[in-house]
């Protein structure tokens, strides 16, 4: 499994329910990813700074309160504006099935809803990151 990919894990906005994010962060770390846990109450701008400072390959964000479309769009816009097109955005949480396709159309690389098995998350994250062209500086 991968050992050199860096993933920032974060909650955005005022959503402080991070149980799922902590569990998935542990799964990713156990699978060999370098996980940078940003915690709760992050802005898109803070996550952007972390991506640049940490030379991250991906950002994993978790949503509970219905703000997934707003924050995904905002973060992806910042990635594009800062020429970070190779950074993968992975989202999970309480996301209505009707919004999953919308998120993918926005550019979210993978979307996980409640009940997704650990093996499926790890498999899809690995697939996302295998095409990443990021080169460490």
Specify the pairing of strand 110-112 against strand 88-93: parallel
C-alpha span between 47 and 51 (Å, rounded): 6
Dist CA 86 CA 31 (whole Å): 21
- In the CATH hierarchy, which top-level class contains the domain 6-129? alpha beta
Enumerate the domain spans of the chain.
Answer: 6-129
What average pLDDT does the structure give for the chain? 91
pLDDT mean over 119-136: 76
pLDDT value at residue 136: 33
What is the DSSP pairing of strand 58-63 with strand 34-42? unpaired
Q: How confident is the model at residue 135 (pLDDT cuts 50, 70, 90)?
A: very low
5-36: pLDDT as tens digits: 999 999 998 878 889 999 999 999 999 999 99
């Amino acid at each position: 499994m991968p050992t050199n990919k860096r993933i920032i894990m974060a909650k955005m906005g005022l959503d402080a329910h991070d149980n799922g994010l902590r569990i998935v962060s542990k799964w990713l770390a156990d699978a060999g990813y370098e996980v940078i846990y940003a915690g709760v109450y992050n802005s898109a701008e803070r996550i952007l700074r972390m991506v640049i400072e940490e030379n991250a390959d991906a950002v994993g964000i978790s949503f509970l309160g219905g703000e997934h479309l707003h924050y995904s769009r905002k973060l992806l816009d910042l990635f594009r504006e800062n020429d970070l097109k190779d950074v993968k955005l992975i989202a999970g949480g309480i996301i209505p099935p009707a919004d999953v396709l919308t998120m993918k159309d926005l550019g979210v690389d993978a979307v996980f809803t409640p009940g997704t098995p650990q093996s499926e998350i790890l498999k899809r994250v690995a697939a996302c990151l295998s095409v990443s062209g990021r080169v460490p500086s």
